[in-house]
């Protein structure tokens, strides 16, 4: 079992007071807090080895390059990618998805189909819509049910040899549903479609094994897994990454440049034009080391208990409805109280030092499905406690009293 007090001591921000009250941070779905080792590693990079990578022969450049590539290797091991060059540094999930949709623009034609699900974050909807506009391909949506689960019989029915790529999240940010991606990957491959998994919300809770999953692309963000903002990862199978054209042109991504013709660098550099986010790329490796030291089994155990406790306590409140009731879900609770706007609850409990997200959570189609403007979303991390949940539940009760 985790020693939660010891874990909490790793996170300087958790001792903050907000509006005069001890901070209770339940907005982990939006971004995670950072442990001291991560914060220190950023400073250390700038104090000790800051230099541009892959360019100079000088010592600092070599040290920075080695640290950057060592981080890539850590990530390769973490997600069990077969090859190091299948791990591409990006600025985050959004950029990873756009890199892939941009590449598919040269592969799709009118009549082809692109499939997303009703549970997606806007980041995994809008780039595919833009791709469809550009190519004349059709966007197909896998529907969901009242519990916030994808309807797999519909998925099976919608798949055909017209389907060129499926894009689906591993775990939903708005509802916490864990999608059956193993099944979905297998089915996509049966019709010859590629499949991209948006792992932004899964990677804080589990260690994806991209080879076991056999997905074609897997994307995630550093800032949701205790790492810095502005860095993320695109995993792609070698064959796909070779097939896709470069995303951006510039330095680092070329082999030879003349005004007549430029040839591109090998993977992974083909997709890493320009000076990358060196410091944060290196520190993403530190964050992954930290999470592995805590242990994903421990993380899951703690989060499972927090979810059960919070669900039980919140349902004591009359008129409170939870959206997303799949048995397979992570530590996210989206809810509303009858007759009260989610924003008003969020505002009142913020005064009590409690951070939750209110609104549509970048997933308007889900809110439209339930016919609501938004929800209050509390998302728990392994550094949260049952005591914090109890304070939160009392705060929600108080907000309800003030607002009704």
Ligand X SMILES: *Cc1c(COP(=O)(O)O)cnc(C)c1O
* 139 CA to centre of own chain: 22
- The residue to which tokens 């190519």 are assigned: 135
| Cβ closest to ligand X, residue 65 vs residue 201 | 201
Binding site for ligand X (CB under 6 A): 92-94, 121, 123-124, 169, 173, 198, 200-201, 221
Q: Which of 132, 215, 226, 362 is catalytic?
A: 362
Give least dist CB 215 to ligand X, A: 15
For the CA atoms of 101, 106, 112, 117, what is the dihedral angle to 10 degrees? 0
Give least dist CB 158 to ligand X, A: 21
| Cβ closest to ligand X, residue 92 vs residue 103 | 92
DSSP secondary structure string for all residues of 329-392 = B-SEEEEEETTS-HHHHHHHHHHTTEE-EEE-TT-HHHHHHHT-S-EEEEE--TT--HHHHHHH
What are the distances in angstroms from CA 11 to CA 110, 141, 364? 51, 40, 32
Query: Which token pair is 225?
Result: 């897994």
Query: Which token pair is 193?
Result: 């479609």
Cα distance between residue 81 and residue 235, in whole Å: 8
Nearest to 187 by CA among 149, 140, 152, 237: 152
- The residue to which tokens 């799949």 are assigned: 326
Give least dist CB 301 to ligand X, A: 22
CA dihedral over 326, 174, 232, 298, signed as positive or negative: negative
CB under 8 Å to 16, separation ≥6 — which residues?
22, 23
| Cβ closest to ligand X, residue 124 vs residue 381 | 124
Under a CB-based contact definition with an 8 Å cutoff, are residues 205 and 159 in contact? no
| Cβ closest to ligand X, residue 198 vs residue 388 | 198
Give least dist CB 177 to ligand X, A: 11
Query: Which token pair is 115?
Result: 């499939």
Cα distance between residue 318 and residue 250, in whole Å: 58
| Cβ closest to ligand X, residue 283 vs residue 391 | 283
| Cβ closest to ligand X, residue 71 vs residue 123 | 123
Catalytic-residue membership of 362: yes
Give least dist CB 232 to ligand X, A: 6
Give least dist CB 167 to ligand X, A: 10
Give least dist CB 122 to ligand X, A: 8
| Cβ closest to ligand X, residue 54 vs residue 205 | 205
- The residue to which tokens 């996210």 are assigned: 332
CA dihedral over 84, 90, 94, 98, signed as positive or negative: negative
Cα distance between residue 89 and residue 228, in whole Å: 13
Under a CB-based contact definition with an 8 Å cutoff, are residues 320 and 171 in contact? no
Q: What would you measure as the largest C-alpha separation in the chain, in angstroms?
A: 72
Q: Which residues are catalytic?
A: 362
């Amino acid at each position: 079992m985790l020693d939660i007090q010891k874990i909490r001591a790793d996170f300087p921000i958790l001792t903050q007071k907000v509006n005069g009250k001890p901070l209770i941070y339940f907005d982990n779905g939006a971004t995670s807090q950072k442990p001291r080792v991560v914060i220190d590693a950023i400073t250390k990079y700038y104090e000790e080895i800051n230099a541009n990578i892959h360019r100079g022969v000088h010592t600092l450049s070599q040290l920075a390059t080695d640290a950057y590539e060592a981080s890539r290797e850590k990530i390769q091991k973490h997600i069990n990618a077969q090859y190091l060059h299948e791990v591409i540094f990006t600025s985050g999930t959004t950029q990873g998805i756009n890199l892939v949709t941009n590449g598919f623009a040269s592969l799709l034609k009118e009549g082809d189909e692109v499939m997303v699900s009703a549970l997606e974050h806007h980041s995994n909807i809008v780039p595919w819509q833009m791709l469809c506009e550009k190519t004349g391909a059709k966007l197909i949506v896998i529907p969901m049910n009242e519990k916030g689960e994808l309807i797999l019989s519909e998925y099976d029915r919608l798949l055909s040899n017209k389907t060129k790529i499926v894009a689906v999240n591993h775990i939903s940010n708005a509802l916490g549903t864990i999608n059956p991606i193993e099944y979905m990957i297998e089915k996509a491959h049966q019709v010859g479609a590629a499949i991209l998994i948006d792992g932004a919300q899964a990677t804080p809770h589990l260690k994806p094994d991209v080879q076991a999953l056999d997905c074609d692309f897997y994307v995630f963000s550093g800032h949701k897994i205790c790492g810095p903002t502005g860095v993320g990862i695109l995993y792609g199978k070698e064959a796909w990454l070779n097939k896709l054209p470069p995303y951006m042109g510039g330095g680092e991504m070329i082999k030879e440049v003349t005004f007549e013709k430029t040839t591109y660098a090998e993977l992974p550099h083909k997709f890493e034009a320009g000076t990358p986010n060196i410091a944060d790329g290196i520190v993403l490796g530190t964050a992954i080391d930290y999470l592995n030291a805590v242990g994903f089994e421990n993380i899951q155990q703690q989060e499972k208990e927090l979810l059960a406790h919070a669900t039980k306590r919140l349902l004591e409140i009359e008129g409170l409805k939870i959206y997303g009731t799949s048995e397979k879900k992570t530590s996210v609770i989206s809810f509303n109280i009858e007759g009260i706007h989610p924003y008003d609850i969020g505002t009142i409990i913020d005064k009590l030092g409690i951070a939750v997200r209110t609104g549509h959570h970048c997933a308007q189609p889900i809110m439209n499905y339930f016919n609501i403007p938004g929800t209050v979303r509390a998302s728990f991390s392994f550094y949260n406690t049952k005591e914090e949940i109890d304070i939160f539940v009392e705060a929600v009760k108080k907000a309800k009293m003030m607002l009704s």
